[in-house]
Amino acid sequence: LDAYKTRLDQLMITEIEHLESISSGTKVELCGIITKTETKLTKKKEDFMNFTLEDYSSEIACVAFPKTFLKYK
């Protein structure tokens, strides 16, 4: 992320450590590095991915459901 720090500082990005203080249902934008990936299959045999997103402040467990995973893999 260091190579992008100047650009990231210009964007309206929410840091992961501040997510708990934001009301449920509020749209936020996150930026970080995807780590600890694990691809799995749904009961319908569709690929999805569990992954960790890390920024300078913290990390969070995430899921890319089949439609999104297929679009961006």
| pLDDT band at residue 64 under the 50/70/90 scheme | very high
Tokens found for residue 38: 């694990």
What is the pTM (predicted TM-score) of this model? 0.82
d(Cα 51, Cα 63) in Å, to the nearest integer? 6
Tokens found for residue 60: 């969070």
Q: What is the pLDDT of residues 33-48, one digit of tens each?
A: 999 999 999 999 999 9
What pLDDT score does 61 carry?
Answer: 97
Sheet strands side by side (includes 59-64): 33-41, 47-54, 59-64
What pLDDT score does 54 carry?
Answer: 96
